[in-house]
């Protein structure tokens, strides 16, 4: 067997007789050499030739050719050949083929563990090495323990105990002797007690590895023999999984391999350490599986010969009828299973154990071993145990008396059971008799007794709950949060919920508590704990599926063969019931597919809870809700830690400060608090600080192991590298910057960082900085440490100051180092040559470091150079920088970054902030891919190179506090890619050019504390501008633009405000010059934003007109009730003054597009309500065109743009009938027209002056915005004192309407259904007679269509709305004194956050106004304020502005040219300068 001394004996023989042989060779560890590939059989053949024939020149190509050569060269020689530890016939055939290979008198010695191998090879003699006797063993042990042949005084008895434990095995004696060397008596005693229970790992590891020589079937028999059959006659050995003949053959094979022996009485024996090794493996394997899902409700332990036929069969069938799955060894151990391990696993995976004691129970070693395991798991893991005394007195069992005691003693003597085992069995028999159970002696009604047992077991199983935690601090509140998300009372849908968080945060604990709390509300439930670990073997995968069926249906009648059949069975069964299903610690999508494939697998109202560390997995399986584990707060952390450290909810007074330190170190991670608390519970206060210091360097292995699971779960090599780089160097850095650097390393960081976040290994804070839990950081750094614990220079990353200093000062660097950090070392200066061997260095972070020497030694592979306090005035030219992605030299001594420019095509980030002596920027043409330029607080910087305009990929420029900078180069405005420009604190910069509009990608513009007093008009033409900050004001761009426009409209009020967020009114580009304000356009992102932006845009005009409307809103009442609302402008009209009896009906025609002369018939139809007083903007044209006309009461109309085949829209005509009182009969009523496209979410506003001089480009702005099928609202805006009665929109197409017309709302050839605003507030129409307006109200709206020779006229017939408004109520509302501010105050309340829209809440007392309350807040600002403000924009003012601006621009151009010329003049020395001045 292993460790018996075969190699030692072979070497001794070789040493003794070797001198008698001229040709000899010894090859040690043949098996290990070949397995480890340190040698091959060919190389071993060459070694034999070299040692024996001294033939170094011979090269053997193959094993077969080597055999031939060996035979030829050694045939006539007398040789001594020792082959140590051979394990297969191939090795022998290759190295010592047969007797014919060697000359007469040769000796071949072969050591092996396999006697059968020697027989097959034809060995002449086989010597079995025997164990040492007691005296030999004692002497060998003493030499190793005491360095002498005898024991020291006081150690003689202890030494004999060790010798007895070792069983005369030389390896064990040697190893144990060294282990006990120099130890005190107390240590010897303690260790021996430990070895008796848990065995010595040193020897056991070697013996366990020898089991690899056995195949699976041989291992099964070996374990069964070790556990059940030692001392049993070979012929009495029974095996449930093999025939007797097969069992005997396997025993013979184990004997050949030295694992068992057969003594002279034909009994099976095994070396004591082999037996101990087998028991340790069995215990470990069975213990591991006790944490797996429970497979059985009840484990039945009984003596079959006593009770199987009658009582046990009846009990077993009764359990089955009650739906209780019970384990019996006769029908549950499957063929091919290892009896010992399978039996013990079954005990561990049962919810309850019933031990049936009978008269001969104690006569079975098997039964007593079962009892021992049952009681062990009961003590350690809470297994419920129920004793049943069948025809035997409990007292006899407890004290081993009577017949029960006799058979117990017979077993002990017959099987030579040692005292230790006997005492354990006696203890277990005593303890189990103290548990409440059933006594069945001379029972008259066995059926009633069995019924009582089944009912009792049923109650116990139902009462069984999952163990949550010893101290469930903070669990209840989190369970409450998750339970609300599950919505178990209301929803009948199947709901999937994910619980997500990093390892050790309590996901399993919370899910178990939820399972206990709500489980009884479901028809069935199942909790699969630790799926990730169980899933590793295929058989366990099937067992998980089987477990679900067992949990839900309390039976194992349905057997699952494989994963696929399991899916089918689960789907078929679970779909019929409302179940609660918890899957704990899932890490692969295949696990979910196999266990809870889809929602269709489960009955209505079922709930599935999945705990995982992988957010992407939850997203992939489509969970309804995700609960992210909440971090423990400080009080919860302190309480949990205190329970484990002090067994009370708060720390003792002396330990309060230290406890706070532990909580800070643990990062409030529950796992760490529990583990470290338990670890410190028995430590004195003086030890606490030392333990904490150690933990900061070497994390606790239990915490480390748990956290490392997430790291090990990363499948991709680059993802692991990204994690380790961040853990060592990048925590707290900007995410985008780190991604650029790591992408430069070839790591695909965009994907990798996303994966780390989803696996809870990394977080991104609200400033886009990378964050990592301290324990995760320490775990990552420990992984690096373990690469080479004793040699830091052999680790991939080094960051500890003392280790880095040692590497650099002693020139110990290696190419293994990929990243290095050194901050503020004690040493003044280091040599650059120390970096010479680090030619794979990618990341270098220095702070307060000075380097002397040639910079050529720094790695050419550097991707990131961070050097705080760079000590030189420029970067040396010999420094290889071609691979650099980021250069960060903050607080440097630089005056210029390079004395001689280098082409750095990979450089994307350049940060020279706080370089106080920096006078100039580099030539940016050498940095073609630069994306980020940061030059904060560089007061000596006076100019920025004009070459900056060549940076077509630049995204950010930050020149904060560059107080010496007077102006920006004109070329900077050519940066179309630039997104952020920061000039705050540049106190000498006094203007921004109109060229600013060329920065088409600019999102953020910050220029506080500068000399800028005027905002360029072109700023509003920036398409993407989102944040503007000028002269100390700031805000969102859509909030700021109105203030900017108002400031330009009022020359005396130069208000400059600002903006921050994404822009919806992003373009005013349809007007050539905002100064003319012919047309204002707004593009919105959504319907809600359409409403909001109209309201904000109208704020521009509110100041000039709103007060007038408020003053007149309640002045009089009107008998006219036709005030009509629109989704956007109704509120405005609600505050327009209504008129008295003295009013005049007037009409207005507005034409946009191709000019024409309207026909008499059409004119009569359109103007039939007019009194002859007209404002008209018509120009003459032909009258051969056809019209499509829409009409509606009020000032606005909504319609769908028709689809006309082979026709284009040529013109639009608006005809308006409106009332005017005698006071304003001569006033201009119409102030402008607003066209709102709901489909495109755009707004176009046209003032009166634009309408009177409509140009082609103005018409193009309309046609480009109106496409067939678009839903459009046209609003005619009137001033104070006017009210619109009717509005008609007529569309002119270039060919006759007799051609086929396609329209989405055509009902038949004679009916066209459009959308309008009539007296009943109809908002939106649909072609199916039911219309849904944009606020969700249903309307029914029919329009009568009449065809005339000169056009098509449509009017409303019987409009009906499901929610109506009484006209009298509207009239009353119109005269109430409601401030205009109140009318619009709710509109900004509905903000857009990301992609979510929040609707404006309406007063509860007026639910019927929901469709119109929000629009009513907008119309007033639009109809009343916009055009009055436009009037203030006078031509003289803008002409003056244009003239001044043009002249200033001309002067600045000349100055810039002059400066560029001066910049090209060579610099003179100081003396030359003085000479010139003189």
- Sorted by sequence, the CB contacts under 8 Å of residue 1023 that are 6+ apart come out as 1000, 1066, 1067, 1069
1271 DSSP β-pair partners: 1200
| Residue-wise DSSP of 1196-1248 | EEEEEPPEETT--EEEEEEEEEEEEEGGGTTS--EEEEEEEETTTTEEEEEEH
1134 close to 1374: Cβ distance less than 8 angstroms: yes
- Sorted by sequence, the CB contacts under 8 Å of residue 349 that are 6+ apart come out as 289, 290, 292, 293, 294, 295, 296
- Residue 875 DSSP code: B
1422 close to 1130: Cβ distance less than 8 angstroms: no
Helix axes 670-680, 656-666, angle to 10 degrees: 140
Distance CA 31, CA 85 (A): 6
Mapped onto helix, strand or coil, the DSSP state of residue 443 is coil
Largest CA distance in the chain: 145
797 close to 818: Cβ distance less than 8 angstroms: yes
Closest Cα partner for 1098 from 1245, 1272, 1258, 1239?
1245
| Residue-wise DSSP of 71-125 | HHHHTT--EEEEE-S--SHHHHHHHS--GGGS-TT-EEEE--S-HHHHHHHT-S-
370 is catalytic: yes
Distance CA 594, CA 590 (A): 6
Alpha-carbon separation of residue 1277 from 1118, 1246, 1285, 1294 (angstroms): 20, 10, 13, 29
Q: Dihedral, CA atoms, 286, 288, 289, 292, nearest 10 degrees?
A: 160
Helix axes 185-198, 170-180, angle to 10 degrees: 140
483 close to 517: Cβ distance less than 8 angstroms: yes
Report how far Cα 1233 is from the mean position of its chain's Cα atoms: 52
Distance CA 1156, CA 900 (A): 71
Distance CA 1234, CA 505 (A): 58
Residue 318: both structure tokens together: 């009764």
Report how far Cα 388 is from the mean position of its chain's Cα atoms: 52
Distance CA 225, CA 220 (A): 9
Distance CA 347, CA 300 (A): 9
Distance CA 711, CA 531 (A): 17
- Sorted by sequence, the CB contacts under 8 Å of residue 173 that are 6+ apart come out as 132, 137, 140, 141, 144, 162, 163, 166
Report how far Cα 539 is from the mean position of its chain's Cα atoms: 30
29 DSSP β-pair partners: none
1060 DSSP β-pair partners: 1027
Distance CA 1017, CA 1023 (A): 14
Residue 195: both structure tokens together: 């070895």
Distance CA 779, CA 798 (A): 15
Q: Spot the catalytic one: 57, 279, 370, 1386.
A: 370
CB atoms within 10 A of CB 1160: 10
Residue 883: both structure tokens together: 């691979």
1231 close to 1281: Cβ distance less than 8 angstroms: no
What burial class does residue 1245 get, using C-beta atoms within 10 Å of its C-beta: 0-12 exposed, 13-18 middle, 19+ buried? buried
**Rg for the chain, CA atoms, rounded:** 46
Show which residues are catalytic. 370
């Amino acid at each position: 067997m292993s460790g018996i001394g075969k190699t030692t004996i072979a070497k001794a023989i070789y040493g003794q007789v070797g001198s008698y042989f001229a040709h000899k060779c010894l090859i040690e560890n043949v098996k290990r050499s070949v397995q480890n590939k340190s040698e091959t059989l060919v190389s071993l053949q060459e070694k034999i030739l070299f040692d024996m024939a001294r033939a170094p020149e011979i090269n053997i190509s193959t094993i077969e050719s080597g055999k031939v050569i060996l035979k030829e060269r050694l045939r006539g020689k007398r040789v001594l050949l020792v082959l140590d530890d051979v394990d297969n016939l191939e090795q022998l055939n290759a190295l010592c083929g047969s007797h014919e290979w060697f000359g007469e008198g040769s000796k071949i010695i072969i050591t092996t563990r396999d006697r059968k191998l020697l027989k097959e090879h034809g060995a002449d003699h086989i010597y079995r090495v025997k164990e040492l006797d007691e005296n030999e063993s004692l002497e060998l042990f003493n030499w190793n323990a005491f360095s002498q042949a005898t024991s020291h005084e006081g150690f003689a008895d202890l030494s004999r105990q060790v010798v007895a434990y070792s069983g005369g095995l030389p390896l064990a004696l040697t190893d144990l002797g060294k282990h006990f060397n120099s130890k005190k008596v107390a240590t010897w005693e303690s260790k021996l007690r430990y070895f008796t229970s848990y065995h010595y790992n040193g020897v056991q590891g070697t013996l366990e590895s020898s089991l690899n020589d056995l195949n699976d079937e041989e291992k099964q028999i070996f374990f069964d023999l070790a556990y059940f059959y030692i001392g049993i006659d070979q012929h009495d050995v029974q095996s449930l999984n093999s025939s007797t003949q097969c069992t005997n053959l396997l025993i013979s094979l184990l004997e050949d391999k030295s694992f068992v022996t057969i003594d002279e009485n034909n009994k099976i024996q095994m070396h004591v350490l082999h037996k101990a090794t087998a028991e340790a493996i069995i215990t470990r394997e069975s213990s591991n599986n006790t944490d797996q899902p429970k497979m059985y409700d009840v484990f039945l332990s009984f003596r079959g010969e006593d009770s199987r036929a009658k009582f046990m069969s009846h009990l077993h069938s009764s359990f089955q009828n009650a739906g209780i799955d019970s384990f019996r060894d006769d029908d549950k151990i499957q063929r091919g299973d290892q009896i010992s391990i399978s039996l013990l696993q079954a005990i561990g995976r049962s919810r309850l154990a019933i031990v049936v004691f009978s008269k001969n129970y104690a006569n079975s070693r098997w039964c007593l071993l079962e009892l021992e395991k049952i009681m062990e798991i009961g003590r350690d893991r809470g297994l419920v145990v129920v004793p049943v005394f069948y025809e035997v007195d409990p007292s006899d069992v407890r004290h081993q008396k009577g017949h029960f005691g006799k058979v117990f003693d017979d077993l002990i003597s017959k099987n030579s059971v040692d005292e230790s085992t006997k005492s354990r069995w006696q203890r277990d028999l005593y303890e189990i008799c103290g548990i409440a159970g059933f006594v069945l002696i001379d029972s008259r009604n066995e059926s009633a007794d069995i019924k009582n047992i089944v009912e009792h077991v049923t109650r116990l199983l139902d009462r069984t709950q999952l163990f949550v935690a010893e101290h469930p601090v903070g669990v209840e509140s989190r369970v409450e949060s998750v339970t609300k998300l599950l919505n178990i009372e209301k929803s009948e849908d199947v709901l999937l919920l994910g619980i997500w968080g990093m390892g050790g945060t309590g996901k399993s604990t919370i899910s178990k508590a939820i399972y206990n709390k709500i489980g009884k509300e479901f028809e069935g439930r199942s909790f699969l704990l630790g799926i990730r670990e169980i899933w590793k073997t295929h058989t366990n995968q099937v067992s998980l599926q089987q477990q679900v069926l067992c949990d839900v249906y309390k039976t194992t009648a349905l057997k699952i063969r494989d994963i696929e059949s399991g899916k089918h069975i689960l789907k078929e069964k679970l779909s019929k019931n409302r179940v609660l299903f918890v899957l704990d610690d899932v890490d692969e999508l295949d696990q979910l597919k196999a266990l809870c494939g889809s929602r269709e697998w489960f009955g209505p109202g079922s709930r599935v809870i999945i705990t995982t560390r992988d957010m992407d997995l939850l997203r992939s399986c489509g969970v309804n809700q995700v609960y992210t584990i909440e971090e423990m707060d400080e009080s919860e952390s302190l309480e949990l830690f205190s329970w484990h450290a002090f067994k009370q909810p708060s720390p003792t007074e002396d330990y309060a400060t230290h406890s706070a330190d532990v909580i800070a170190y643990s990062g409030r991670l529950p796992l760490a608090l529990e583990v470290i608390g338990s670890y410190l519970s028995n430590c004195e206060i003086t030890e606490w600080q030392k333990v904490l210091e150690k933990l900061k360097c070497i994390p606790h292995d239990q915490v480390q192991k748990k956290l490392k699971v997430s790291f090990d779960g990363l499948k991709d090599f680059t993802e692991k590298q990204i994690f380790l780089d961040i853990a060592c160097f990048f925590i707290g850095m900007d995410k985008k910057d780190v991604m650029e650097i790591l992408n430069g390393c070839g790591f695909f960081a965009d994907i990798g960082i996303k994966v780390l976040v989803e696996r809870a290994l990394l977080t991104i804070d609200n400033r886009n900085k990378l964050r990592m839990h301290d324990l995760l950081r320490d775990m990552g750094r420990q992984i690096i440490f373990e690469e080479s614990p004793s040699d830091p220079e052999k680790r991939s990353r080094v960051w500890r100051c003392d280790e880095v200093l040692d590497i650099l000062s002693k020139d110990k660097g290696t190419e293994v180092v990929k990243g290095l950090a050194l901050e503020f070392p004690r040493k003044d200066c280091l040599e650059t040559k120390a970096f010479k061997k680090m030619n794979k260095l990618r990341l270098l972070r220095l702070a307060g470091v000075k380097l002397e020497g040639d910079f050529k030694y720094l790695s050419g592979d550097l991707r990131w150079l961070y050097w705080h306090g760079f000590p030189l005035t420029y970067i040396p030219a010999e420094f290889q920088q071609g691979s650099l992605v980021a250069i960060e030299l903050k607080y440097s001594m630089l005056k210029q970054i390079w004395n001689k420019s280098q082409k750095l095509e990979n450089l994307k980030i350049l940060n020279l902030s706080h370089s106080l002596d920096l006078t100039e920027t580099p030539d940016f043409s050498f940095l073609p891919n630069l994306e980020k330029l940061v030059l904060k607080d560089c007061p000596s910087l006076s100019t920025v190179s004009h070459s900056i305009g060549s940076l077509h990929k630049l995204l950010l420029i930050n020149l904060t506090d560059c107080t010496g900078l007077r102006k920006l180069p004109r070329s900077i405005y050519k940066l179309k890619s630039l997104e952020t420009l920061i000039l705050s604190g540049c106190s000498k910069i006094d203007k921004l050019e109109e060229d600013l509009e060329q920065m088409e990608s600019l999102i953020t513009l910050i220029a506080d504390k500068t000399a800028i007093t005027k905002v360029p008009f072109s700023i509003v033409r920036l398409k993407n501008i989102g944040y503007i900050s000028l002269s100390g004001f700031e805000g969102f761009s859509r909030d700021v633009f109105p203030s900017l426009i108002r400031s330009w409209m009022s020359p005396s009020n130069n208000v400059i405000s600002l903006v921050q967020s994404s822009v919806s009114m992003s373009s005013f580009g349809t007007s050539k010059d905002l100064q003319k304000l012919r047309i204002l356009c707004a593009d919105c992102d959504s319907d809600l934003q359409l409403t909001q932006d109209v309201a904000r845009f109208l704020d521009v005009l509110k100041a000039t007109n709103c007060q007038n409307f408020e003053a007149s809103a309640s002045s009089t009442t009107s008998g006219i009730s036709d005030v009509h609302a629109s989704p956007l402008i109704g509120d405005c009209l609600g505050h327009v003054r209504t008129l008295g009896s003295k009013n005049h009906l007037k009409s207005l025609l507005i034409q946009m597009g191709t000019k024409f002369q309207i026909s008499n018939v059409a004119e009569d139809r359109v103007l039939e309500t007019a009194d002859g007083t007209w404002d008209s903007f018509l120009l003459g044209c032909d009258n051969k065109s056809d019209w499509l006309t829409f009409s509606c009461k009020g000032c606005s109309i909504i319609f769908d743009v028709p689809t006309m085949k082979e026709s284009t829209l040529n013109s639009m005509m608006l005809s308006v009938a409106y009332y005017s009182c005698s006071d304003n009969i001569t006033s201009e009523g119409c102030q402008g027209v607003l066209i709102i496209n709901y489909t495109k979410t755009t707004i176009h506003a046209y003032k009166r002056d634009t309408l009177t001089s409509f140009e082609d480009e103005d018409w193009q702005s309309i046609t480009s915005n109106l496409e067939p099928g678009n839903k459009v609202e046209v609003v005619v805006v009137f001033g104070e004192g006017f009210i619109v009665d009717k509005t008609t929109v007529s569309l002119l197409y270039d060919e006759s309407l007799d051609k086929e017309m396609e329209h989405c709302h055509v009902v038949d050839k004679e009916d066209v259904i459009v959308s309008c605003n009539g007296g009943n507030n109809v908002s939106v129409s649909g072609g199916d007679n039911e219309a849904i307006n944009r606020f969700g109200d249903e309307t029914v709206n029919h329009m009568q269509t009449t065809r005339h020779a000169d056009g098509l006229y449509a009017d409303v017939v019987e409009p009906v709305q499901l929610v109506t408004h009484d006209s009298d109520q509207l009239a009353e509302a119109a005269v109430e004194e409601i401030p205009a501010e109140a009318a619009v105050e709710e509109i900004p309340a509905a903000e857009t956050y990301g992609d979510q829209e929040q609707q404006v809440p309406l007063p509860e007392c007026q639910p019927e106004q929901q469709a119109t309350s929000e629009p009513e807040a907008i119309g007033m600002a639009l109809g009343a304020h916009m055009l009055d403000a436009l009037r203030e924009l006078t031509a003289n003012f803008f002409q003056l502005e244009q003239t001044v601006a043009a002249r200033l621009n001309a002067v600045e151009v000349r100055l810039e040219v002059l400066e560029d010329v001066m910049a090209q003049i060579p610099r003179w020395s100081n003396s030359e300068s003085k000479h010139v001045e003189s």
